[in-house]
Structure 1
Amino acid sequence: MIATREVTYDADGLTMVAHLARPDGEGPWPAVLIGHDGIGLDDYQRGRADDLAEHGYIALAMDYHAGRTYFGDPEAMLARVMPLMADPARMEAIGRAALDVLLAEPGADPDRLAALGYGAGGRIVLELASAGVPFKALAAIHPGFPAARADDWRGVDGAYLLCTGSEDPLCTPDQLLAFTAALQNAGIDWRVNVYGGAKHAFWAAPTNADGSLTGGTTHVLDTVPGVGHHAVHATRAWQAVLDLLDEAVGSADNPVP
């Protein structure tokens, strides 16, 4: 059994509407902060939090669009996201506000902290990590990358998983490897998964205008170029995230020393 609820909090001058999922009982549980991609907090990221709770983690799927999603309106999404991505201090503040909410939850273990981010949400959790938040594990799926400077990562601990699709024009394998070169030079424990044939946001199943699943591979609503669903790789990427967390953080029943 798990428990879920909506959590509101203030950040970036807005009222955010996050999704919290926790196992049954009193904890303590390892805690996972989840950052959604540029479209907004949707049922997929809520589902990631719920699945993590089933695996023994307390998880907060943060919000940085004040409850709004931008399905079918890529221009408005870019107008919101691009200024944010150009302002590391603003991203860090948004991430810290969500992290404070997660760690204030009874049962959240601050010594077993992890992060998961998609797209711009991946950039947010990377900014938190480079600023010193002690994540034991961090998974970023087709993230936006900060500047590849090893000095920004010296003294940072934790295990890192970075994933993208071979056909992603927004988070290319070359960009990913350039960033991991900085992690390597800083002595970070990192790994990379590149999924053959996958495009950007390969985990996002196409929906109809009413939000129902199309059952196909083509998005009905407008998206940015290079977006496409790949169901097999979506499953593989999620398993890679679970494997990382199990190895680096453990669970409530099987903690990593």
Structure 2
Amino acid sequence: MKTIYKSLISILFITSLFSCGDGTKDDASETEDPKETAQIKQPVNVTGREVSYSTDSVKMNGYIAYDSSFEGKRAGILIIHEWWGHTDYVRKRAEMLAELGYVGFAIDMYGDGKKADHPDDAMKYMKMVMQNMDGAKARFDAAYKQLASDPHVDPENISAIGYCFGGAVALSMANAGEPLDGIAIFHSSVQVAIPPSDKLQAKILVQNGAADPMISPESVTVFKNEMDSLGADYEYISYAGAQHGYTNPGATELGQKFNMPISYNLEADTTSWNKLKIFLGDLYPSGK
């Protein structure tokens, strides 16, 4: 399994060679009157459904979630999966975003809803995408168009979040100038296939674990220097003691099963999700 671990580290940096959980809701503050809080809160009815969409050559299976108790248009958030593929985990994140008043769209970057049960398969699927960035962009664009065309979404208000592999994709797409208001990435490489340029227009939030051996301090320094040189609007947060995969409640079991340095961290997961809520709230202050 050491070979798998070394290979994973290599693929997380391979993008630079190609030219380049549960979140928890905030509790009511101690000064709030519970009765007043109950009156302010609106009922939420999260509806989720599978969505098929495609490029010229690949069919993809996504999952969209929204609050059906609200009839107006709202911001749409693309969620890009870890290297394991389009799992229930990203669908859960889509539903959590729907609870916050957004339309969450868990997309499928591998095609046909492929999921990996073993790191070898995950590696194969990830390489397939990261070694063909034109194809990756086509898949991302198809997902973007699908979300923008949804009747519940304001097509002028779209952002993306990504985990691990998905974070690298999101950052690459932002660097390529995709019309995203913001991107937020978790336990993700910051040296990616498409380097930053003046095309970058998205606000960026990076939240990584300080104990993640797959993200080198050198790569973080390079990333910050690149962002600073562009005058980009970004924030980099490092959580002490958090390893790779810290937002995924299933990460610890997978790490033990495959002898990989990944594990869930409840505190970092909760804190990073709350930070995401603030990040999105700043982008979309009107909410629903």
For 2:279, what is the secondary structure of its paired residue? helix
Q: Distance in 1 between matches of 2:54 and 2:259?
A: 29
Identity between Structure 1 and Structure 2 (%): 27
Post-superposition Cα deviations, 1:20-43, rounded to whole Å, max 9, x if no partner, equal 011223321011111001001222
Residue 237 (structure 1) aligns with: 272
Give the superposition deviation at 1:68. 2.3
Q: Structure 1 length normalisation: TM-score?
A: 0.85
For 1:43, give the aligned amino acid. Answer: D
Asked if 1:219 corresponds to 2:251, the answer is: no
Matches within 5 A, 1:174-193: 174-193=218-237
Matches within 5 A, 1:58-207: 58-65=103-110, 66-71=112-117, 73-144=118-189, 145-146=191-192, 149=195, 152-206=196-250
Q: Distance in 2 between matches of 1:50 and 1:110?
A: 19
Post-superposition Cα deviations, 1:101-158, rounded to whole Å, max 9, x if no partner, equal 1111012112211110111111222222122222212101122332685xx3314223
- The ranges of structure 1 where at least 4 consecutive aligned residues each deviate by more than 4 angstroms after the TM superposition are none
Give the superposition deviation at 1:221. 6.6
For 1:106, give the aligned amino acid. Answer: P
Residue 76 (structure 2) aligns with: 31
User: In the alignment, is the contact (CA less than 8 A) between 1:3 and 1:22 conserved in 2?
Assistant: yes
Asked if 1:20 corresponds to 2:58, the answer is: no
User: In the alignment, is the contact (CA less than 8 A) between 2:163 and 2:187 conserved in 1?
Assistant: yes
For 2:113, give the aligned amino acid. Answer: G
Give the superposition deviation at 1:188. 0.6
Post-superposition Cα deviations, 1:203-243, rounded to whole Å, max 9, x if no partner, equal 12138xxxxxxxxx443774472211111111111111111
Q: Distance in 1 between matches of 2:233 and 2:52?
A: 34
Q: Structure 2 length normalisation: TM-score?
A: 0.77
Q: Which has the larger radius of gyration?
A: 2
Alignment gaps of 5+ in structure 1? 208-216
Counting helix residues as a fraction of each chain, which structure ranks higher?
2
For 1:176, what is the secondary structure of its paired residue? helix
Give the superposition deviation at 1:81. 0.6
For 1:202, what is the secondary structure of its paired residue? coil
Post-superposition Cα deviations, 1:59-105, rounded to whole Å, max 9, x if no partner, equal 1110123222213x101110111232233222211111111111110
- Larger relative contact order (Cα-Cα within 8 Å, sequence gap ≥ 6): 2
For 1:179, give the aligned amino acid. Answer: F
Q: Distance in 2 between matches of 1:222 and 1:108?
A: 40
User: In the alignment, is the contact (CA less than 8 A) between 1:202 and 1:233 conserved in 2?
Assistant: yes
